[in-house]
Amino acid sequence: MASPEGAAAAKVKLRPRKKKKSKKESKTRSVYANILGEEDDNNPNRHYADNKIKTTKYTVLSFLPKNLFEQFHRFANVYFVFIALLNFVPVVNAFQPELALAPVVFILSVTAIKDLWEDYRRHRSDKEINHMDCLVYSRTERRYVEKFWKEVHVGDFIRLRCNEILPADVLLLSSSDPDRLCHIETATLDGETNLKQRQVVRSFFDLDCDFDPSKYNSVIECEKPNNDLNRFRGYIIHRSGRRDALYKDNLLLRGCTIRNTEEAVGIVIYAGHETKAMLNNNGPRYKRSKLERQMNVDVFWCVIILLVMCSFAAVGHGLWMFQYGDKRPVFDVLSPEGTDLSPVLSAIYLFLTMIIVFQVLIPISLFVSIEIVKICQVYFIHQDAELYDEESDSHLQCRALNITEDLGQMQYIFSDKTGTLTDNKMVFRRCTVAGVEYSHDANARRLAMYQEMDSEEEECPSRGGTLPRRDSVGSHHSVKVVLRSHSTKSHRRTGSRAEAKRASILSKHTAFSSPMEKDITPDPQLMDKVNECGSQMDFMRFHSQPMSQLPSDLGDIMDFFIALTLCNTVVVSSPDQPRHKVRMRFELKSPVKTIEDFIKRFTPSRLTSGSNSSSSSSLATNRSSTKGCSSTLSSPSAESVNADGGAEHPNAAATCQPSSANHIAVFLPVPFCRACFQGNSKGKRQKKIIYRTQNYLNQYAADGLRTLCIAKKVLSKEEYACWLQRHLEAETAIQGREELLFESALRLETNLQLLGATGIEDRLQDGVPETIDALRKAGLQIWVLTGDKQETAVNIAYACKLLDPEEEILTLNADSMEACSLLLEESLHYIQAKFLCGSAKAFHADFAPFHIYPSSPPPPPHWSSSHAAVHRLGLVIDGRTLAYALDRSLEDKFLAVARSCRSVLCCRSTPLQKSMVVKLVRNKLKVMTLAIGDGANDVSMIQVADVGVGISGQEGMQAVMASDFALPRFRNLQKLLLVHGHWCYSRLANMILYFFYKNAMFVALIFWYQFYCGFSGSAMIDQWYLIFFNLMFSAFPQLITGTLDKDVSAQTLQQLPQLYINGQNSEEYKPYMFWMNMIDAFYQSLVCFFIPYFAYADSDVDLFTWGTPVTTIAVFTILLHLGVETKTWTWMNWLSICFSVALFFTVALCYNASCPTCYSPSNPYWTMQRLLQDPTFYLLCLITPAAALLPRYFYRACQGTIFPSPVQVGRQLDRLPAKDPHGNILSLSGIQTGARPDPERKSSVAKDPRRPREESQRPDASLSVRIDLPAEGGVKYTKNSQERLSVG
Amino acid sequence: MAKAKSGPLARRPDNSAFKQQRLPAWSPMLTANTVLPFFYFMAVICLLLGIWLLLTVQSVQEIRMDYTDSGACAHCHDLRKNVSNAALICTCKLYFHVDRPLKGDVFFYYGLQNFHQNLRRYMDSRDDAQMVGRKTNLKKPSSYCKPFATNDKGLPIAPCGAVANSIFNDSFKFQYLGSGSSDEPVPLWRKGISWYTDKNIKYRNPQMDNLSLAEVFHGTAPPPYWHRPVYELQTHDAINNGFINEDLIVWMREAAFPNFKKLYGILQRTNKPFESGLPKGNYSVEITYNFPVQYFRGRKQVVLTTLNWFGGPNKFLPIAYLITSCLVLLAAIGLTVVCKE
């Protein structure tokens, strides 16, 4: 929106003074202070967008034409308008032209009103935002005055106070913070709740007094507005001619909140629509769902049926005319001119007329109804309390409004690991310093206790009910005190509501995530050494000895901790006084003091010395800092700084510190890379350290920890100065800054001295194993694509039950294309050889009530070949091999292997590879894919998949921005897919089928009548009924059913994930079902036509006195048909059906009574009134719907009794005695996955399907659902349902 | 941003039954156990209704005679084949014998077969506004009437349109031959054969303003096929003349099917021997044979019938009930058998 504006501005901006710079000008923007005194029409900033935002699409004037234009992009609308206009042609018209316009106008106006309402909401929110206040420096008054946001202009000076929201993108010029920092919370922008530091522009860093805008006289050159939140480049030119570079660290983005900073002043750089936040805001996306694609095929079939019917009628009419020959009967009306129409010509006219009469067959309201139903579905998904995360106060967001039903049809899930499966909250586990391992066992115990407590916490409410929370806290507390001698505080993970609430209150002001991250119980051994180090230093300081005399192991420990400390961002704040930043940052004047300070901090005394409440002053470490890189140093992509990393180089991650008079020590958190250290491996000791550390690193990785190496380098002052200068040059560069910085980092990162490494655990999110288990039972193939190291990834995969210790794992690591090809072929042979007999058995087992592979679903029908069955195999493939495997020549083989594996794990994969894998599976296997991820590196994958899900979590909002659905946690995926997906799919599928049925049935009535009226296109159904039938009489019940119907309860759906297979196989809407519905519609219309026909045959009935009962019967039949298909009846269903019937009779009575001449040519005056006195009418209304619905009702009853589908079995489970449904279902559905399938035992099981329940609960690999209904309920279900559910 | 709620859990969805989709609901299972009782119930209800209706219909009597080209009317049929003979009057007599007396009200219909009153363009070819007596429409008929809106001389046609133009213009004299040779006319009500609302609301003559009907219709032409202008349809009865002539009104109510009958008269049961209906004996119907049907291979009939409380002699409805009952019963038995296995 803003970019054309910006381009225009750039063109106009070519001021004579800078003409020679014009080329450069077009790429940058210059911002002058408005204070400089130039008047409004001469202001250099006048071409930039102001801060008034307008996100509305329409204005009062442009609404009608623009909206209509947009609506006519939909082909269906054009078609309906065409048909309505056809009515204005006298030869072919079938209805009163004005009336024929009504439905089209209605549909268009409903959509228009919806658009208008949305636009109005946007307008209101715009207005509210535009009228927020902020302090802007006024030139005339020489002080800051309150102004509305919309009055802020580029070049204005703004004073920001703590907890204020930024009105525009502002360059930070001054801060009340002594370090010239400003903290902002970017939660609204990227969802990250931790505070980010922004720095005052370097040249204003040294200002002692308050910043005075009137003295400002610099010019800012920066980039054109763009949507990259993580990039801002530019420089500021002072009057002296000095240039200073500007970074993203200097820019405060619109929408962020100022925290922990009393006051800041900045100049507006981008305003309004040109701010990065607004440019990033590109609204919901539109995709077409699988169901809709299928539906469009059937709409096409409807068109064909329509054309066939019209042609049939046209030919019939021609023949009918022809049989009379030249002598025209009296009832054959000549054309208005009094001339005869030839049979051929009248057949052509009739064809057009029939299109009008039969137009209802192409359901005009289908598209609108689907849209309405989807909006309602989205609303309900939004409102689901179970998809709400208390910790982050976020709930599910549907960004794509029209693919809700796709959620019920997923077959493959591609998941990212970090942040998606795991918390992305880094918890310190262990470290190694100078080749010595400090295992931090106590810390591990403490972490384990959190988990225990979690589970206890979950049980607590169910057991205790109103048990006071405090008590339980207290009891935990006491337990903990015994276990943890160092900490007196009791922390629980935020399992309980109160705690979550507290934590979230806390996070409003501070940057804590969970106490687990903050507390560390130090390793006693390490503590001793640190203490020793401290005393030594005290001693040395006392004796003014140089530091270098420290023993080398102690020196390493000290350096290690200094590095850890320095390469972190440490902010201390107190929630009681959010505006005051407690000055506790390190004063790094002397290393000794640093160490002291450090020891003070990192020993438990810190924890005990604070006040008792966890909300008191505490240490807030930046989340990324725990990873080992300070935020200022981390590169934009989260994956690239993964601490165990090595795939990518961290950029210039260095903190420099004068370590002694002559030397500067550079401490670096680095990936473990022998090349960096090799040059320095002079000493034997260092070699040993490297060797040991390497071993520990491997061990850490095997434990699933993220590792980070700490190294140092000692530089001479000259070296440092030389490097610094080049680095600064690199920093100030506008073009190619990243590359230059990268080179600069490379220059420094050589010959490092390895100090040690840390192992950090990235904990699994809550409920991940359970979710994966449930999803897998639901027949979903889960692939994990991660950038992590293979060991780490495999470990996490085990932890989250993606891989089973019992199952074999194929690991594919190849160095070349040939090797990869060979590997793939080998594994394919292996699979075939090993599982050939197994799958044959599986085939046999299908006949038995138990399936051999319970945890893997039976293959979808298109995988019918036996070797494609999913085996108990895991596939692990690394990025390099993946690159080969994704090659065109190998991709088929790769898919063949991957498809027969139960789980696939791709490690070390790049974002591009991720998306390639998704694309490959999606296109080759023709399956529905879902990609879930949380970081920027998942964006491409999310965009490629049929449904992209973003986790709105720790790594920013890019994934969410690209996604169709944004979830707070991974575990929410279970309910979203299994419950909402299933519901949305079955509701919509049933509604679409019903729609087709309904229209076909109604239109067929008129078609049968053509045989009795010489195919002349007359309809016994009055034009009013015909036109409003779809819009009014039958509209509401199906909308209610389409929105609220639940075939199976949410609880059962979650407990029996197998029911999800229903949607994967499109069981609710298969192509043949369309035709079955059509046949049913034709049958029903035959009944509804011919029973009244024969009942009134040979009587003196007139057209409408006969047609009105037919209409009434049709309405009843159609509503009752919906009744047969409705699974749950709430009061809304009853109400809507009653309303529909009442509406029909009211409209009919009013219409038939209103006036005797108004509705020419048809004239049903007083018909309905008379019919209501006629007993035949009632007799017909009773018998016809009964006869019409008999087959369907009978079929449904048979289906429910004799061959119930899994979904129906699920419904029967719902209806089990209600006293303890929860436990009942659990006990009844003994679903176990466990030991490997044991063919021998299997066969014995198969022989006796009705063995006792206790036995079935034995942990074997069988799946059994026993439904023992009470005696009167009939025990018949037992066998059937077992078979159904186990076979799927 | 305009959310009224604030605080840490501001975005938590309401925990209401509606929003959480937990509305109390009745979820019927369509299984044999739930459906069978309903099936049996339906079968019994339909059976009982069917039997009752069948018994009721049995009492209805109907006499139907085709006179298109039968016996005495054959010569008239031939005569009407030639359009140039339209002005010639042709009458013929139809004799028949009633074996069982027709009890109760007896309705006299004329029936037409193969006459498509339900053609779309035919049905549209009328002007209700003219028939309701609007003077503007009398002089300027609606365009729907074309090409029967004005005659060759440009005079507006009243009543305009193809429906009125094609009016059935045979007339009948119904006679009771009794026991002897004395012909006794059977008295028929020729009024009250149309809907009350039609006679009184839908069809009105133009306002008279002390003029005679002929003067009101001055300046209009009769439809081309008509022999008499509209104001001479029933010269001796002013309230059955013009647009409110009941034969016209009955004709204007277009039949739903090509084979239909229209009411011609109802037996007056005031005098002997018709107090309880038509006694048995010989009857004759003298037909003024005007309406040509040979162009569309049509048939003309005279129908005499009595009625019951739910309609005519049509036995279809009771049979439909009985058949449905049987089907439901069959389905129910089938389901029972399958489930008991």
Q: Give pLDDT tens digits for A668-702.
A: 555 444 444 544 445 677 777 777 877 887 777 77
pLDDT score, position A448:
60
Average pLDDT over residues A185-198: 66
Residue A622's pLDDT band (cuts 50, 70, 90): very low
Report whether pLDDT(A1081) > 90.
yes
| Mean pLDDT, residues A1124-1146 taken together | 94
State the pLDDT confidence band at A982, using cuts at 50, 70 and 90.
Answer: very high
pLDDT above 80 for A932: yes
Q: Which of B223, B60, B180, B12 is nearest to A497 (CA)?
A: B12
Mean pLDDT of A398-405: 82
Test B25 with A1129 for CB contact under 8 angstroms. Answer: yes
Q: What is the pLDDT of residue A678?
A: 47
| Closest CA relative to residue A673, chosen from A656, A697, A652, A655 | A697
d(CA B161, CA B145): 4
Q: Is the pLDDT of residue A988 over 90?
A: yes
Whether A1233 shows a pLDDT value over 60: the answer reads no
pLDDT of A285 strictly over 60: no
Catalytic amino acids of A?
416
Mutate which of A394, A1100, A1133, A1207 to test chain B, going by most B C-beta atoms within 10 A? A1100
Q: Is the pLDDT of residue A638 over 70?
A: no
Q: Contact B115/A394, CB-based, under 8 Å?
A: no
CA distance to partner chain B, nearest, from residue A914 (Å): 33
- Verify whether the Cβ–Cβ distance B118 to A1018 is below 8 Å: yes
The answer for residues whose C-beta is within 8 angstroms of residue A831's C-beta and 6 or more apart is: A867, A871, A873, A897, A900
Of A112 and A694, more confident: A112
Q: Is A334 exposed, middle or buried (0-12, 13-18, 19+ CB in 10 A)?
A: middle
- Radius of gyration (C-alpha) of chain B in whole angstroms: 29
User: In terms of DSSP H, where are the helices of A703-816?
Assistant: 717-732, 737-748, 768-777, 790-799
- Assess A837–B contact: CB distance below 8 Å, yes or no: no
Q: Identify the three-state secondary structure at position A231.
A: coil
What confidence score (pLDDT) does residue A549 get?
61
Q: Does the structure show a pLDDT above 50 at A487?
A: no
pLDDT band at B180 (very low <50, low <70, confident <90, very high): low
Tokens for A683, please give them.
Answer: 């000493």
Residue A188 touches partner B, C-beta closer than 8 Å: no
User: Residue A139's CB: how many other CB atoms inside 10 A?
Assistant: 14
1100-1139 in A: which are within 8 Å (CB) of B?
Answer: 1100-1103, 1105-1107, 1124, 1127-1132
Q: How far apart are CA A1170 and CA B197, in angstroms?
A: 10
Give contacts of A 42-101 with B, CB under 8 A: 94
- Span B175-202, average pLDDT: 86
Using CB atoms, which residue from B198, B255, B311 is nearest to A1176?
A: B311
The yes-or-no verdict on residue A118 having pLDDT over 50 is: yes
- Contacting A residues, span 355-414, partner chain B, CB-CB under 8 Å: 380, 382-385, 388, 390, 393-395
Range with lowest mean pLDDT among A268-282, A834-848, A1153-1167, B188-202: A834-848
pLDDT cut 70: percent of chain B above it: 97
Token pair of A822 as six digits: 């060979």
Q: Is A467's pLDDT higher than 70?
A: no
For residue A630, the model assigns a pLDDT of 29
The string of pLDDT tens digits covering residues A471-480 is 333 333 333 3
Report which secondary-structure segment, H or E, holds A554. helix A552-566
pLDDT for the residue A591: 37
A581-590, A751-760, B32-41: least confidently modelled range: A581-590
Query: Is A1094 within 8 Å of A1248 (Cβ atoms)?
Result: no
pLDDT at A281: 65
User: At residue A204, does pLDDT exceed 90?
Assistant: no
Mean pLDDT within A1211-1215: 80
Identify the weakest region by mean pLDDT among A673-682, A750-759, A806-815, A1254-1263.
A1254-1263
Of A1206 and A1215, which is predicted with more confidence? Answer: A1206
Chain A, 982 to 1041: residues with Cβ < 8 Å from chain B are 1012-1014, 1016-1018, 1020
Give the model's pLDDT for residue A1217: 56
Q: What share of chain A is helix, strand, coil (3-state, %, to 5)?
A: 55, 15, 35
Query: What local confidence, expressed as pLDDT, does residue A650 receive?
Result: 32
Packed helices A97-130 and A364-383: angle between N→C axes, nearest 10 degrees: 30
Provide mean pLDDT across the span A99-128: 85
Residue pLDDT, tens place only, B61-120 = 899 999 998 888 888 888 888 878 878 889 999 899 998 899 889 999 999 999 999 998
CA triple A1129-A1132-A1133, angle to 5 deg: 45
Quote the pLDDT of residue B210: 85
- The pLDDT value given to residue A36: 61
What local confidence, expressed as pLDDT, does residue A513 receive? 39
Q: How far apart are CA A914 and CA A879, in angstroms?
A: 10
pLDDT class of A907 with cuts at 50, 70, 90: confident
Contacts of A1199 in chain B (CB under 8 A): 30
Q: What is the mean pLDDT of chain B?
A: 88
Amino acid residing at B144: Y
Give how far Cα B315 sits from Cα of A577, A1086, B101, Å. Answer: 93, 19, 20
Q: Which of A622-636, A1016-1030, A1206-1220, B315-329 reaches the highest mean pLDDT?
A: B315-329
Neighbouring residues of B4: CB distance < 8 A, sequence distance ≥ 6: none
All residues of chain A having their beta carbon less than 8 Å from the beta carbon of residue B11 are 388, 393-395
Q: What confidence tier does A566 reach under pLDDT thresholds 50, 70, 90?
A: low
Pairing of strands A903-907, A965-967: unpaired
- Range A70-84 average pLDDT: 83
State the Cα–Cα distance between residues A835 and B149, nearest whole angstrom: 87
Residue A68: is its pLDDT beyond 60? yes
Percent of chain A with pLDDT over 70: 68
Q: Taking residues A302-326, report their average pLDDT.
A: 91
- Position A1243 pLDDT exceeds 50: no
Highest average pLDDT, of A324-328, A397-401, A660-664, A922-926, comes from A922-926
The residue-averaged pLDDT of A176-187 equals: 77
Among A199-208, A227-236, A460-469, A1071-1080, whose mean pLDDT is lowest? A460-469
Q: Is B147 in contact with A125 (Cβ distance < 8 A)? A: no
The predicted model gives A785-809 an average pLDDT of 82
- Taking an 8 Å cut-off on Cβ atoms, the answer to whether B256 and A1107 are in contact is yes
Query: Residues of A numbered 1047-1066 whose beta carbons fall under 8 angstroms of chain B's beta carbons: which are they?
Result: 1050
Instruction: Tell me how close the Cα of B267 comes to any Cα of chain A, in angstroms.
Output: 17
Task: Choose from A128, A320, A331 for mutation: most chain B CBs within 10 A.
Answer: A331
Give pLDDT tens digits for B245-280: 999 999 999 999 999 999 999 999 988 888 888 888
Higher pLDDT, A717 or A478: A717
Q: What's the pLDDT score for residue A1176?
A: 92
pLDDT score recorded for residue A668: 53
Type of residue at A620: A
- Which of A533-537, A1023-1027, A1250-1254 has the weakest average pLDDT? A1250-1254
At A1181 the pLDDT is 94
Tell me what the mean pLDDT of segment A1056-1077 comes to: 91
pTM reported for the whole predicted model: 0.77
Nearest 5°: phi and psi at A736?
60, 35
Q: Which range scores top for mean pLDDT: A732-741, A1238-1247, B200-209?
A: B200-209
Q: Can you give the pLDDT at residue A446?
A: 64
pLDDT in tens, A491-519: 333 334 444 444 444 444 433 334 454 55
Cβ atoms within 10 Å, residue A1007: 23
Q: Testing the interface with A: which of B14, B83, B108, B121 to mutate, by most A Cβ within 10 A?
A: B121
**Which residues have CB under 8 Å from A1038's CB, separation 6+?**
A369, A991, A994, A995, A998, A1122
Over residues A1190-1204, the mean pLDDT reads 90
